[in-house]
Structure 1
Amino acid sequence: MLRRSGAIGTLIALLTVLFLTPAATAADRFVRPAKAADGGCGVLAPGAPAAAERAIDAACAQVAAGVWYTWDGGHGDQPGATYGKKDPTDPASDDDPNRLGFDCSGLVRYAYAQATGADMLNGDASDQYYTYRTADRFTAAQGLAPLLPGDLLAYGTSADLHHIAIYLGAGKMVEARQSGTKLMVSDVRLGGDYFGAVRVDTGSVEGPVFRTWGTGVWTKAQPSTAAARVYAFPGPRTVRVACQKHAEVVTADGYTNDAWSYLPDYHAWVTNIYIQGPAWLDGVPTCTG
């Protein structure tokens, strides 16, 4: 009898748990955890825009799949892994032509294309950091405090940004780091050549947007050819123009113009000679102050 009573008691206890424990709703099942369950690749802090979280999910799926870093990988006609190339400065890249994968900017391009359905970050690390789709920008001196998951971390100098990664939160980032390794989660490397971070605006872009032309075109700290160099456009790119003004007369590539445009994403000026359009750009206000 004692053994029979014990069995009945156990059954009653199990039924009590089943009927008294609230059932999980569909919303509960799909709530994003505050951090990756294993502390690995995932959104590790709250507050990120939904598109940024989707970009992280896309990048982390590639980490989970064991995808390789490949030099120049991910820069095909469409976002996605491609076979790499040999980097003449890195013997570890000898196998990259046989590996399907991403380099650092190829991974960023793919992640945000998956998140938004648009190839909005097609380019190298400099193109992506200086994107005209900038919601906010942060200096190295600001550290990690103002950053949100999905922000892009850039390494190098204003004239040569050589690496970019996606911030996860909690001091972690996902990156395609170097030949001979697979995509990985790393501690954010502050100091050294950490340059700063940019938050991507995946919505509509405010303000006039134009296309540049020419190669090796330097932007300047002031609207003058004698001013300090800020960044050289390696080739044509899309830029956001805040305002324009008449300043130093410039003659270059068969054109003469005294109009200069201020590019807010570079904190720099460029002569209107190298911006496609009329000498004085339509729809762009005159700079004041």
Structure 2
Amino acid sequence: MTAVLVVPAVARADNAQPLNQCQIAGPASPQAQTAVAFACAAWRARTPYTWGGGHNPGYVGPTYGSVDWSDVQHSWRDPWIKGLDCSGFVRWAWYRAMNRDVLPGTALDQYRSSNAFQVYPAHNGGSGIEGYLLAGDLVFTSGNGSVADISHVMLYLGDGKVVEEWQSGEVARVTTLASRTTDGRLVGAVRVRNQGALEQPGNYSAANPAIDPNNPFAYVLAPGAGGGGGGGNGIPERMWATDVNVRLHPNRSANVVTSLPSPTMVYVRCQQHGESVTDEGYTNDAWSYLPDLGGWISNIYLQGPAWFSDVPQCGTGETDSSVGSGSSAPNGAGGPNRTWGTDVAVRSTPYTDSTSTVLTRLTGPTAVQLSCQKHAQTVTAEGYTNDAWSYLPQYGGWISNIYLQGDAWIAGIPSCDGKGTPTPAGTRPGQTWGTDVALRVDPSTSSGLVTRLSTPTAVAISCQKHAQSVTAEGYTNDAWSYLPQYSGWISNIYLQGDAWLAGVPAC
């Protein structure tokens, strides 16, 4: 993540009423019309807010977020939610409009950006601001109305309405500008530079995928990925492993198209069941097709659940029948624990409410692996009541302990940490120590700061490597570990254990 991680959270107290229509109003430049079209497409797709989403280095688009330590109660799930925060949302919309990254950084960075100019510096508490604005302009607020404390940005639609990503646990919404600039919160507004002449709103159709508002997350290009629409032809997912083979068919005996030497972002068009693969203690038969590379990768090597909820299943003309000798049954990984019952839901969060989606259903009793358990929503089912849930890494989701054979709290399964954070597939659990510990973009103290861990924290470690030698806290060590939840590196000095961590593979 970038410096967006230090931006204060938007106050959760909110009286704005969501509106049920997202459309541009009034004349705007072609670029502003495109930015609004994509912002409204993300609104129609119910794109979730996730803190820090849209700010991964070298990539513009929806990403997994991070925990906002000023609002842990609501944001602890954000590392497992792919979406955008407020500044990531407007950054992405204008990236699609300008074909370059014109609004990187935090909301404050965007307000001060050399790629924008002020059209309404705050001076009268917000009265009559609509008279200064055009669709596509960015409107900024803070708790006290001061520039230094800017904490939120919205995209203006025209006709007194805005579209925004506004807080953890919610999705993009449209509401009135007036409701968001009360109580002296308005700071000002800016307009992106180098736009064309004003025109009446045009019609954008799926015939031109570069500006297709109905498919907002396809054709997302990472900066430097190449022109011509080749890079990013699909939904972005991030790898965690090294030296991963991309194969011509979804099986291990197929020819290798290319090998990816290090964790990177890849673009996925669709997924299907292929040959069952076992690696790093997990088994999965799901494979994803990478159109940019012309081949298939086992989902074991992609961060996230065994089967991605945001990636479509390969349809007619896309399915590859060369599945090898593996089973075609999904999620064949077994484990020392066992479910009971039929049609048992595995959920994205340990809740049954609207914030949780069903990732898969276990049609019958199934052997499963459990990484940890925690107390969450109380559930009553099958004549039992229990608030304990367990995390199943091979499915990337949670199951109520009611449906696990054994006691209400499963003996021998550790508790998830205080934030309810499980250990994702392909990683090892770890624990930091100390305060104000820096996570870096690269394994070097001179590289960019991703975030700081203010207190000892349970973390997931994907791999470690020898890099810059660091002396701190009376120790010297050149080992660094990669933490995929934060997309950053930490010196092993600040991880509990030996200088080189047992059980963690080399990057």
How far residue 55 of structure 1 moved from its aligned partner, in angstroms, is 0.4
Report deviation, 1:135: 4.1
Of residues 105, 108, 116 in structure 1, which corresponds to 2:90? 108
Letter of the aligned partner of 2:152 in structure 1?
H
Query: Residue type of the partner of 1:52?
Result: A
Which of 80, 84, 91 pairs up with 2:65? 84
- 2:189 corresponds to which of 179, 197, 204: 197
Matched, 1:144 2:130: yes
Pick from 53, 60, 80 the counterpart of residue 33 of structure 2: 53
Normalised TM-score (structure 1): 0.55
Distance in structure 1 (CA, Å) of the matches to 2:79 and 2:175: 25
Which fold has the larger relative contact order, with Cα–Cα distance below 8 Å and residues 6 or more apart in sequence?
A: 1
Q: Deviations over 1:212-246 (max 9, x none)?
A: xxxxxxxxxxxxxxxxxxxxxxx9xxxxxxxxxxx
> Are 2:22 and 1:41 aligned?
yes
Candidates 63, 66, 74, aligned match of 2:46 = 66
Q: Which amino acid aligns with 1:54?
A: T
* Letter paired with 1:197: A
Q: What is the letter of the counterpart of residue 179 of structure 1?
A: S
Kindly tell me: are residues 173 and 59 of structure 1, through their superposed partners in 2, closer, same or farther at Cα, counting changes over 3 Å? same
- Once residues 197 and 130 of structure 1 are traced to their aligned partners in structure 2, the CA distance between those partners, rounded to angstroms, is 11
Aligned residues: 167
- Given that 1:152 and 1:165 are in contact with CA atoms closer than 8 Å, whether structure 2 keeps it comes out as yes
2:152 equivalent in structure 1:
163
The answer to whether structure 1 residue 127 and structure 2 residue 116 are counterparts is no
Deviation at 1:202, TM superposition (A): 3.3
Distance 1:60 1:202 in 2: 22
Equivalent position of 1:266 in the other structure:
none
| Cα displacement string for residues 247-281 of structure 1 (whole angstroms, at most 9, x for unaligned residues) | xxxxxxxxxxxxxxxxxxxxxxxxxxxxxxxxxxx
Between structure 1 and structure 2, the one with the greater Rg is: 1
Contact 1:143 1:190 in 2 (8 A): no
User: How many angstroms does 1:129 deviate by?
Assistant: 1.0
Report if aligned partners of 1:135, 1:198 keep a CA contact under 8 Å in 2. Answer: yes
Q: Secondary structure at the match of 1:68?
A: coil
Which has the larger displacement, 135-144 or 67-76?
A: 135-144
> How far, CA to CA, are the matches of 2:194 and 2:43 in structure 1?
23
Contact 1:51/1:202 (8 A) holds in 2: no
- After superposition, the Cα gap between the structure-2 partners of 1:148 and 1:39, relative to the gap in structure 1 and judged at 3 Å, is farther
The offset of 1:151, in angstroms, is 0.5
The equivalent of 1:281 in structure 2 is none
Letter in 2 for 1:176: E
> Any idea what SS the aligned residue of 1:86 has?
coil
The residue type paired with residue 87 of structure 1 is: D
> Are the counterparts in 2 of residues 82 and 101 from structure 1 also a CA contact under 8 Å?
yes
Task: Give per-residue Cα distances to partners, 1:54-86, cap 9 Å, x unaligned.
Answer: 101111111111110000000012110000111
136 and 49 in structure 1: CA distance in 2 versus 1, 3 angstrom threshold: farther
Note the 1:257-268 alignment, pairs <5 A. none
Residue 166 of structure 2: aligned partner: 177
Instruction: State the alpha-carbon separation in 1 of the partners of residues 154 and 141 from structure 2.
Output: 9
TM-score, normalised via structure 2 length: 0.32
1:164 maps to a residue whose letter is V
Name the CA shift for 1:107/1:152 in 2 (closer, same or farther; >3 Å).
same
Q: 1:203 Cα shift?
A: 5.1
Shift of 1:136: 4.1
In 2, distance between residues paired with 1:117 and 1:163? 24
**Alignment match, 1:35:** none
**Runs of 5+ unmatched residues, structure 1:** 1-37, 205-234, 236-289
Q: Tell me how far apart the structure 2 counterparts of residues 102 and 148 of structure 1 sit (CA, whole Å).
A: 23
> How big is the shift at 1:191?
2.9
Question: Where does structure 2 lack aligned partners over 5 or more consecutive residues?
Answer: 1-18, 197-447, 449-507
Q: State the SS of the aligned residue for 2:130.
A: coil
Alignment partner of 1:122: what SS? coil
Asked if structure 2 preserves the Cα contact closer than 8 Å seen for 1:144 and 1:171, the reply is yes
Cα deviation, residue 131, structure 1? 1.2
Percent of residue pairs bearing the same amino acid type: 40
Structure 1 equivalent of residue 81 of structure 2: 99
The answer (yes or no) to whether the contact 1:70–1:99 under 8 Å persists in 2 is: yes
Q: Distance in 1 between matches of 2:77 and 2:194?
A: 35
Deviates more, 1:105-114 or 1:58-67: 58-67
Aligned partners of 2:60, 2:28: CA distance in 1, in Å? 23
Partner of 2:256 in structure 1? Answer: none
Contact 2:86 2:152 in 1 (8 A): yes
> Is the Cα–Cα contact under 8 Å of residues 38 and 96 in structure 2 kept in the other structure?
yes
Q: Quick one: which amino acid aligns to residue 92 of structure 2?
A: Y
